Chains A and B, each alone.
Chain A
Amino acid sequence: MKKISLNALGALFAKIASTMKLYAPIEKAGQVDFYEWNESEKVRLDVLKTVKSAKDVFFPQVEDLLKFRVEGKSIEMNEAPKCEDDFVVFGVRGCDARSFELLDRVFLVDPRDEFYAARRAHGIIVTLACGAPEESCFCTNFGIDPANPGGDASAWIVGEELYIEPHTERGAALIADLEDADASSVEAAKKEISAIAERLPFANLDLTGFDGEHLMEKFDDPAWERLSKACLGCGTCTFVCPTCQCYDIRDFDTGHGVTRYRCWDSCMYSDFTLMAAENSRHTQLQRFRQRFMHKLVYFPSNNDGLYSCVGCGRCVAKCPQNLNIVKVIKALGGKKA
Chain B
Amino acid sequence: MANAANAPRQKVVISTRVDKVSTGARLTSSFRATIAVIVALIMLIPVAWMAMTAFKTRPDAVAVPPKVFFEPSFEGFVSLLTSRRQLTNDEIAVYQQRTDLGWADQIALIRGQAITGPSAFPRQLLNSLIISGVSTVFSVGFGVLSAYAFSRFPVPGKDDLLFFILSQRMLPPVVVTIPIFLMYRQVGLHDTHIGMVLLYTAFNLSFSVWLLKGFIDEIPREYEEAAMVDGYTRLQAFRKIVLPQATTGIAATTVFSLIFSWNEYAFALMLTSDAARTAPPSIPLVLGTGGIEWAAIAAGSLAFLIPVVIITFLLRRHLLRGVTFGAIRKG
**Real binding pair:** no
A residues adjacent to B (C-beta < 8 A): none
